[in-house]
Chains A and B, each alone.
Chain A
Amino acid sequence: MILVKVYVTLKDSVVDVQGEAVKDAIHSMNYKDVLDVRIGKYFEIKFDDRSNNLKSEIDSICDDLLANPNIESYRYEIVEAN
Chain B
Amino acid sequence: MKFAVIVFPGSNCDMDLYYAIKDGIKEQVELVSYKETSLDGYDGILIPGGFSYGDYLRSGAIASHAPIIEEVKRFADLGKPILGICNGFQILTEIGLLPGTLINNRQNRFICEDVELIVKNEATTFTNKYKKNESITLPVAHGEGRYYCDNKTLQELKENNQIIFEYTSDINGSVGRIAGITNKKKNVLGMMPHPERAIELILGSKDGLKLFQSMIENMKIEVQS
Any B CB within 8 A of the CB of A78: no
Q: Which of B58, B65, B103 touches A14 (beta carbons < 8 Å)?
A: B103
Tell me which residues across on chain B come within 8 A of A17, comparing CB atoms: 104-108
Q: Which of A14, A18, A65 touches B108 (beta carbons < 8 Å)?
A: A18
With both chains docked as a complex, state the minimum distance between the C-beta of B131 and any C-beta of chain A, in angstroms: 33
Q: How many A-B residue pairs have CB under 8 A?
A: 33
A71–B104 CB distance below 8 A: no
Distance in angstroms between the alpha carbons of A66 and B62 in the assembled complex: 9
When C-beta atoms are compared, the residue in chain A nearest to B104 turns out to be: A17
Tell me which residues across on chain A come within 8 A of B62, comparing CB atoms: 65
Distance in angstroms between the alpha carbons of A71 and B62 in the assembled complex: 17
With both chains docked as a complex, state the minimum distance between the C-beta of A3 and any C-beta of chain B, in angstroms: 20
A71–B103 CB distance below 8 A: yes
Tell me which residues across on chain B come within 8 A of A51, comparing CB atoms: none
A65–B57 CB distance below 8 A: yes
When C-beta atoms are compared, the residue in chain B nearest to A20 turns out to be: B108
Q: Which of A17, A66, A68 has the most CB of B within 10 A?
A: A68
B108–A21 CB distance below 8 A: yes
Overall SS of chain B's interface: loop
Distance in angstroms between the alpha carbons of A64 and B150 in the assembled complex: 19
In chain A between 16 and 59, which residues have their CB closer than 8 angstroms to a CB of chain B?
A: 17-18, 20-21, 41
In chain B between 72 and 129, which residues have their CB closer than 8 angstroms to a CB of chain A?
A: 93-94, 100-101, 103-108
Tell me which residues across on chain A come within 8 A of B150, comparing CB atoms: 70
B101–A68 CB distance below 8 A: yes
B100–A18 CB distance below 8 A: no
With both chains docked as a complex, state the minimum distance between the C-beta of A7 and any C-beta of chain B, in angstroms: 14
Q: Which of A18, A21, A64, A68 touches B58 (beta carbons < 8 Å)?
A: A68
B101–A71 CB distance below 8 A: yes
A71–B148 CB distance below 8 A: yes
Tell me which residues across on chain A come within 8 A of B148, comparing CB atoms: 14, 70-71
With both chains docked as a complex, state the minimum distance between the C-beta of B144 and any C-beta of chain A, in angstroms: 10
Any B CB within 8 A of the CB of A1: no
Tell me which residues across on chain A come within 8 A of B58, comparing CB atoms: 68
Distance in angstroms between the alpha carbons of A71 and B93 in the assembled complex: 12
Tell me which residues across on chain A come within 8 A of B93, comparing CB atoms: 70
Given contacts A14-B103, A14-B148, contact A68 B94 (CB under 8 A): yes
Q: List 17 A-B contacts (CB under 8 A).
A: A14-B103, A17-B104, A17-B105, A17-B106, A17-B107, A17-B108, A20-B108, A21-B108, A64-B65, A65-B62, A65-B65, A66-B57, A68-B58, A68-B61, A70-B100, A70-B150, A71-B148
Query: Closest 7 A-B residue pairs measured CB to CB?
Result: A17-B108, A70-B101, A17-B104, A71-B101, A21-B108, A68-B101, A68-B58
